[in-house]
Structure 1
Amino acid sequence: MSNRVAIVDLGSNSCRMSIFEIDGESYRPVYEVKQNVRLAEGMTGNRRLTDASVERAIACLRQFVRQGALHDVDEWMPVATAALRQAENGDDVRRKIEQDTGLRFRILTGEEEARYGFLGVVNTMPIQNAVIFDIGGASSEIALMRDRALIRAASLPYGALNLREMFGRYGEQACVRMASDRAAEALAEHAWVQEGELLPLIGLGGTARALAKLFLAETHRKTPRLHGFELPASYVEVKLKQLQQMSVNKRRKMKGIAKHRAEIITTGLAVLATFVRTLKPPSLFVSRCGIREGLLFERMLGSADPVVPSVLEFSVRNFQRHFRIDRAAAGAVADMAMRLGAELSQRLNLDASDRLVLWTAAQLEGAGAFVHPERWRDHAAYLVLHSDLYGLRPAEWQLVAQVVRFDHRDPRAKKLSLLLRLSRWLALELGVEPHEVSRVKGGEIQIETGRRIQDIAEDTADAKVADDIRKALQITCSFRESGSAALSSAR
């Protein structure tokens, strides 16, 4: 029985809602919305949330409640973070918000906030060891992950918005310097952070996403999504120095910076630059998944340690349920692909990444029929690129889309797509089992079955794959009936 759950994250700068349809241990994103409410604006000094910021939050949440009703939400999971956590009038504000919206908020501790960010990352990114950070409006969370386990977590009481309010009156250069010093002092209180030295940094939140968008615009690159995107850690200092020399109005016109973030981007980057100087990471990764996805996985898996054993396998199974892929057929093709990949590994120079891409493509290619059986390859490629598929590096994920489309423009994609076609032909159209691929000798795949497959091979839908793979990869298929000494090659 499916259940629609709305997860609301009321932050210091923005408020977000994600609606998911949960069915057992699978889920489907239904709706997502964000609004910039600046709840922590004006809180610096007396540590009280202002009436204006509270009214902005209430107006936003009322709209979220209406949108949730329109999407048949069964269950609400509203959480609030640093603004309500730090404010002296936080309890009063929470009661007013609950009275005016009907939503019952749970105020996360800093450590809980960091843990949910970790859960959002560990269940959607194929990284074993890293330091995870989330620079918010009024706090910054940092967590150490080793062997996909949360080791330590902490929350610093400084973020892009409150640092701007604290030091903005001193001018841009001084503001950035003072924000960096304050972040460094807070970070120094957690000696364990040094254990993350030289590990990759994974960034959640608007500061990390804005930095990645600036990098993409500056390098004239494109990516279908930011999740998992990698950029050099050295870029943080370079961009911070450039941005702090520009006016806020000029920053507002830059591609990659939202207008509401133009004023606070430098204080957010000042915190991030402090992390980079302290930890000296080799690279920086961006995660689009964070607190809301962490709450989702805890709600869905229902264990004290809601971490999936394999990000890719879990994501593939979820993708298959979502797009109603026949798992028996997909498994048959994948098993054949793995058999052929193992036998042809040396001849075709296949590495572990190639085999992973081939396996994933075999499991997901059937998704195209969910849209329509005609042009199913194009539909499958689109769904791969624009759905929640996790567990691959960005280059591998985009290669999977090329392979399911049978795209021959890239040599690597051509090789793997031909192997996928051959696997489909053997497993689905001819009914060959992996163990019937008796051996590969030179450039010949020898198949021994109890049936005279050679009599029907040329009449099957994709019989042309035999010629295509012979011409492109110099590989032929030979069939032999069990007990017969004669071999017949597919031409």
Structure 2
Amino acid sequence: MKCGVVDVGSNTIRLSIYRCEGGRIKLLLNKKEMAGLAGYIRDGVLSDGGILVACRVLSGFRALLDNFDIRELYVFGTASLRNIVNTEEALETIREVTGLTVEVLTGAEEARLSFLGAATGGGASAGLLADIGGGSTELVAYRDGAVVSGCSLPMGSLSLYSRYVEGLFPTQEETRRIRSFAAEELEKARTPGGTCRHLVGVGGTIRAAAKLCNDIAGADPDNRLIPAAELRDLYKGLKKGDKNTLRQILRSAPDRVHTILPGLIILNTVLKAYEVETVSVSSCGVREGYLLDRVVGRQKDAGGGGAGTDA
């Protein structure tokens, strides 16, 4: 069976097409649109313009799957639809315009599914997972393949940019304010005294940061294991905001030019708080977790068999 999974996020709307066979999944195609829905939120309300942007992207994805003769499409939303006051209105409009029903994940559910997806790729037996999205950040501490604790923080790379930054790139004062807010939110959520030497990173911010680190170091572009010290050095270089820095971003991660620094502030706040030494960038995340849980898991319950991924 082939199916599509769409993640309606605060910064991007992403479609992944998979083949599901024998309890396993294989990624066939990835497509994303930089919708920037967080930028359409004012006083907790997603504007009509933002809702229509979501409808346009989802209609395009639906048409793409129709061209491939793929009938199974699963759509879920995260902070972009969860942290607004007009969620039901937005969902109803999307249903009327596109014919698609969007499932809105709670913060706890998003954290669990992010871990489920990332865990399929293996890695350290104990550590911390961080999924830095456009509108929220999920943290999951795990040991021996099981979740120990998890939380969802109301801050993401695009939501912090929209809240604090006036221009294209944060000023020193705006950077300071973002850093202070991120530290306060993390302090509210984390368990005092907890440390994790290894962090599994999920999401566009961490992928872009790894790409920048590899570019600067002249490392293999596909390298997914980044020392925390390199990420701290990257942050220090980016916050200066000089022309060389901007050129570096435009070469390696042009679609993240306005959100990479807010996202890195969140990441480095986490690295410092938990005394992280190494970061591995997961190729899988919440979409794979959603598919394994909602589709493969139900197939397994119905007909038996294990679950896994070749994504």
Q: TM-score, with normalisation over the residues of structure 1?
A: 0.58
Computed over aligned residues only, the root mean square deviation of the Cα atoms, in angstroms, reads: 2.4
Secondary structure at the aligned position of 2:91 is classed as helix
Structure 1 residues 108, 237: closer, same or farther in 2, change over 3 A?
same
> Which residue type is aligned with residue 176 of structure 1?
T
Report deviation, 1:157.
Answer: 0.5
Do the aligned residues in 2 keep the contact of 1:217 with 1:255 (CA within 8 Å)?
no
Give 1:207's aligned residue. Answer: 205
1:138-174 alpha-carbon deviations (Å, 9 max, x no partner)? 1111111111101111110011111112221495212
Cα 1:214–1:291 change in 2 (3 A) is same
Deviation at 1:247, TM superposition (A): 5.1
When Rg is computed on C-alpha atoms for both structures, the one with the higher figure is: 1
1:167-246 correspondence to structure 2 within 5 Å: 167-169=164-166, 172-192=171-191, 194-195=193-194, 197-223=195-221, 225=222, 229-246=224-241
1:169–1:33 CA distance, 2 compared to 1 (3 A): closer
Distance 2:242 2:160 in 1: 18
Could you tell me how far apart the structure 2 residues matched to 1:89 and 1:220 are? 47
Q: Distance in 2 between matches of 1:240 and 1:107?
A: 32
Partner of residue 281, structure 1 = 276
Cα distance, 1:193–1:251 mapped onto 2, change above 3 Å: farther
* Shift, 1:256, TM fit: 5.4
- Show structure 1 runs of 5+ residues with no match: 319-387, 389-491
Counterpart Cα distance in 1 of 2:288 and 2:135: 21
2 CA distance for matches of 1:260 and 1:193?
36
Structure 1 Cα separation of the partners of residues 20 and 171 of structure 2: 46
Contact 1:82–1:138 (8 Å) recurs in 2: yes
Structure 2: gaps of 5 or more residues: none
Q: 1:262 to 1:64 in 2, by over 3 A?
A: same
* Match of residue 21 from structure 1: 19
Q: Deviations over 1:308-335 (max 9, x none)?
A: 99x9xx66xx6xxxxxxxxxxxxxxxxx
Q: Which residue does the alignment assign to 1:261?
A: 256
1:157 to 129, 154, 159: 154
Q: Are the equivalent residues in 2 in contact too, given 1:175–1:267 (CA < 8 A)?
A: no
- Residue number among 41, 44, 69 corresponding to 1:43 in the alignment: 41
Q: 1:248 to 1:294 in 2, by over 3 A?
A: farther
Residues 11 and 158, structure 2, Cα contact 8 Å, conserved in 1: yes
Structure 1 vs Structure 2: percent identity of aligned residues? 30
Say whether the 8 Å CA contact 1:248–1:263 is kept in structure 2. no
TM-score scaled by length of structure 2: 0.90
Q: What pairs with 1:328-407 in structure 2 (closer than 5 Å)?
A: 388=311
Deviations 1:9-46 (A, max 9, x none): 000000011111212313332322111100111425x1
> Per-residue deviation at 1:253?
5.3
Counterpart AA for 1:251: L
For the Cα contact (< 8 Å) 1:248–1:262, is it kept in 2? no
Please give the residue correspondences for 1:57-96 in structure 2 after superposition, counting only pairs within 5 Å.
57-96=54-93
Measured at CA, do residues 248 and 106 of structure 1 come closer, stay the same or move farther in structure 2, by a change above 3 Å?
Answer: farther
Q: How far is the alpha carbon of 1:64 from its aligned partner?
A: 0.1
Report the CA distance between 1:277 and its aligned residue. 1.0
Alpha-carbon distance in 2 for matches of 1:96, 1:241: 43
Q: How many residues align?
A: 304
- Cα 1:24–1:248, aligned 2, differ >3 Å: closer, same or farther? farther
Distance (Å, rounded) in 1 between the aligned partners of 2:162 and 2:171: 12
- CA deviations 1:172-212 (Å, max 9, x no partner) are 212222112111111122243743x1330111111101111
Work out the CA distance in 2 between the residues paired with 1:99 and 1:190: 38
